[in-house]
Amino acid sequence: MTKVVLGFDCETDVGSWTPFYEGLTHGTPRSLDLLQRHGITATFFFTGDAARKNPEVVRMVLESGHEVGCHSIFHETVGDALFEIPGVYPLLPEEVENRLRVATAMVESVAGHRPVSFRAPRLFGSTAVVNALENLGYVADATYPMYFYRERLSPYHPSRDNWTQEGTLKIVELPNFADLSMESKDPYGRDLDQWPLFRLEGAEALMRHTDGYANYCRQRKAEPFLCFYFHPWELHPMPEGEIHFGEGSVRPDPFIVKNCGPHAVEQLDRFIAMLLQRGAQFFQARQIAEAHDA
C-alpha cells in the first residue's frame, strides 16, 4: 500500500518573491474543497507571518480536519542552501534554534496548539535544523529533498551529526519524492523533482513519474512513500512577468508562475484521483511520524 503525504506550503505569493497573500486567501479554500471531495487529509505548513496575517485561513484548515505545521517565520533559508537566491542568505547555525522557536510560537498562537510538523522553505534543511526541531518537540520534518541527496526513500530517524543519514533522533524525516528512475541532466538534479510538474506538464505526466519511481522502490524492496509539496498560491492565478513593490521589481522565472489558477486546480484534482485509483492512502505528516515506530 502506497502512503502519500500532501503538504501545502502556506506563504506569500510566488514563494518569497512577493509580500502578498492573494494566493493563500483564494487558493487555500480551493485546496480544502479538493481534499474534501476526495475524502483525504493533508498538512498545511504555515510560515509564522502567513499564520499571523491570515488567522481565518489557519482556522479554515483546522476546521476542515487537516494538520497545521510550521514553515519558518518569513520563508527564510533556515538550512543548507542547495542553490543561490539573489539577496537571500542562510541563517547562521547558531541562529537556527531561536528562529524556529519564534516561528513555532507564532504558528501556535494562531492555531491554538503547538505545531509538531515542519518543512524548511525550498527544502533547504540541515543538521542544525533537525536538532533544533528535536529540541522544540517536533515529531516530523517533511524536508529531505530526494532529488538532491537521492539516498533515503522512506521515512527515517535522522542522525544528530548528519541529517541525511539514519540515526537516533526521535523526529522522523519524510523524504520529498523525486523520480529516481530517470537520468538527471541538471547539476543539482532538480529535473528529478516532482515540483511543479503537475502545473507545467499535467497530471498524467506527474503520474508517469510517480509510477516510474514506485517501480524503482519495489525493485529495491521498499514500499513507495510519496511526500509532495504544493502551494495554495499555485491554485490562484499569479502575475506573469515583472512584479513591482517596495523600491523595485522582481521577475520570477516563467516556470515558477506558469499555469497557476484553474488549470493547476484541475491537474491536482486529476492527479489525486489517479493516486486513489491505484489504492494510495493519504496521511498527515504527523500521522506518518506517530505510526513510524508502532
Q: Would you say 170 or 188 has its CB closer to Zn ion?
A: 188
69 binds Zn ion (CB under 5 A): no
* Angstrom distance (rounded) from CA 29 to CA 44: 12
Residue number with the smallest Cβ distance to Zn ion: 9
Per rule CB under 5 A, count of chain residues that contact Zn ion? 3
Closest separation between CB of residue 270 and Zn ion, Å?
A: 24
Site for Zn ion in 5-34 (CB under 5 A): 9, 11
Closest separation between CB of residue 223 and Zn ion, Å?
A: 27
List, as one string, the DSSP characters of 230-294.
E-GGGGS----S-EEETTEEE---HHHHTTTTHHHHHHHHHHHHHHHHTT-EEE-HHHHHHHHT-
Closest separation between CB of residue 197 and Zn ion, Å?
A: 17
49 binds Zn ion (CB under 5 A): no
145 binds Zn ion (CB under 5 A): no
121 binds Zn ion (CB under 5 A): yes
48 binds Zn ion (CB under 5 A): no
In Å, how far are 64, 119, 165 from 32, measured between CA atoms?
7, 19, 34
Closest separation between CB of residue 11 and Zn ion, Å?
A: 5
* Contact by Cβ (8 Å): 145, 126: no
The CA-CA-CA angle for residues 39, 282, 129, to 5°, reads: 130
Closest separation between CB of residue 111 and Zn ion, Å?
A: 18
- Residue 174 Cα to chain centre, angstroms: 10
Which residues of this chain interact with Zn ion, rule CB under 5 A? 9, 11, 121
